[in-house]
Amino acid sequence: MKKRAIAALIPAPNTVLRRQDLTKPDGRKLFLYTFAETKSAPSTPAASPRKS
Amino acid sequence: MSELRWNPLLGEWVVTATHRQDRTFHPPPDYCPLCPTRPGKMETEIPFPDFEIAVFENKFPSFQRHPPRPAVRGTKLTPVRPARGACEVVVYSPRHDTTLAQEPVAKIERLIRVWRDRYQELSRRPEIQYVLIFENKGEVIGVTLSHPHGQIYAFDYIPPIPARELQQMRGHWSSHHACLLCAQLASERRQGRRVVYENAACTAVIPFYARYPYETHLLPRRHLGSLLELTDHEIQLWAQALQRVLTGFDRLFNFSFPYMMLLHQSPCDGRSHPYFHFHIEFLPPYRSATRLKYLAGCESGAGTFINDTLAEEKAAELRQAIGSAGA
């Protein structure tokens, strides 16, 4: 319930971004990002309000 | 020690984070903690010989997922509470001697995708209400590590400046049934004098009300609340726009231009903010090739900025610099 507003805005999962989640010895998180080119069709934006 | 102390005079929280006094301060390049770990050399924050873009939790955080208990007791007048949230470091490149402006558009596009992922992930945490993605660039801004990087602060409350923006946008939405920044963007585009760059997805302007001489705002052409709403094509266009603005900055005085880059995205407090309009603000401290704009008495004492320049004239300079950088 609390997070509904954001969740509604999240588009389809991105297929070109990869994330490796690691934990350092002191417990801190480390995220390594890699990218793969895809030929997928462009995503469409989530509906958002427009008043002007 | 890290805690939030309430300032009842201004009605805002102050972070007390004494452990940050000991953070790494301008290390020599061989000891840069943001470089990849080279064989036989000191282990850095990224224990791999290479990477594309890396994000890690700050070793000296102002906010933490599991913060320590406050070291002092608050009072009714001045409450104290744990500094809950997150502080992350975003390392743009394994190269020590580059800047975001020098990176290819394709790399900036990848960085935007990382920003989206971090915003999405942090926003999902139940305690997080606001995510600020930013970059401090240049020693005059107070940067202690020259390796190209940005930061992310996630708060369990909406900080004062975003709260004030929200209030203004909400008020305009209520009284005019329209978005404040959509109206501002339309006005800037109609006049054109302060527009410094534009493509199909976004417009860069030195706004009518600029506080810093080269303060530049990058606004989406359509109404959207965060990076999450960009299409793939728009991400490419935003990457182009970022590169053009940043290279234009560097062309102004032919040195690597310091700035603060601030991504103003919709709060993630579980409420709907349809009036919020995403934008990126650049606040460069230089007012000429050799002089800085300081936040002095009037700015710090009264909260009123004095800009010694005309936004229209500075926009003409920056527009020309962006044009020459793209030529």
Q: Answer whether residue A2 shows pLDDT above 50.
A: no
DSSP A43: P
How far is the C-alpha of B321 from the C-alpha of B324, rounded, in Å?
5
* Other residues' Cβ atoms within 10 Å of the Cβ of residue B214: 26
Q: Answer whether residue A27 shows pLDDT above 80.
A: yes
Looking from the CA of B149 toward its CB, the CA atoms found within 13 Å total 22
**pLDDT of the residue at B222:** 97
What lies within 8 Å, CB to CB, of B319 at 6+ separation is B195, B196, B197, B248
Q: Which B-chain residues 131-170 have CB contacts (< 8 A) with chain A?
A: none
| Weakly modelled stretches of chain B, pLDDT under 70 | 20-21, 23, 327
Residue A37: which pLDDT band, with cuts at 50, 70 and 90? confident
Quote ipTM for the complex: 0.94
**pLDDT of the residue at A7:** 40
Q: Answer whether residue A46 shows pLDDT above 80.
A: no
**pLDDT of the residue at A39:** 62
Q: Would the CB atoms of A28 and B56 count as touching at under 8 Å?
A: yes
**pLDDT of the residue at A13:** 45
* Other residues' Cβ atoms within 10 Å of the Cβ of residue B266: 29
How far is the C-alpha of B162 from the C-alpha of B281, rounded, in Å?
12
* Inter-residue contact B171 to B274 (CB < 8 Å): no
Q: Answer whether residue A44 shows pLDDT above 90.
A: no
What lies within 8 Å, CB to CB, of B56 at 6+ separation is A24, A28, A29, A30, A31, B45, B46, B88, B89, B91
Q: Euclidean distance between the first and final Cα of chain A, in Å? A: 29
Q: Answer whether residue A11 shows pLDDT above 50.
A: no
Name the pTM for this structure: 0.92
Residue of A4, A28, A52 lying closest to B178 (CB–CB):
A52
Chain A residue at shortest CA distance from B91:
A32
Contacts of B226 in chain A (CB under 8 A): 9
CA dihedral for B226, B228, B234, B238, sign (positive or negative): positive
**pLDDT of the residue at B20:** 63
pLDDT tens-digit readout, B1-41 = 789 999 999 999 999 987 766 767 778 878 899 999 999 98
Enumerate the active-site residues of B: 149
What φ, ψ does residue A49 adopt, rounded to 5°?
-70, 145
pLDDT tens-digit readout, B161-172 = 999 999 999 999
Q: Would the CB atoms of B59 and A28 count as touching at under 8 Å?
A: yes
pLDDT tens-digit readout, B285-305 = 999 999 999 999 999 999 999
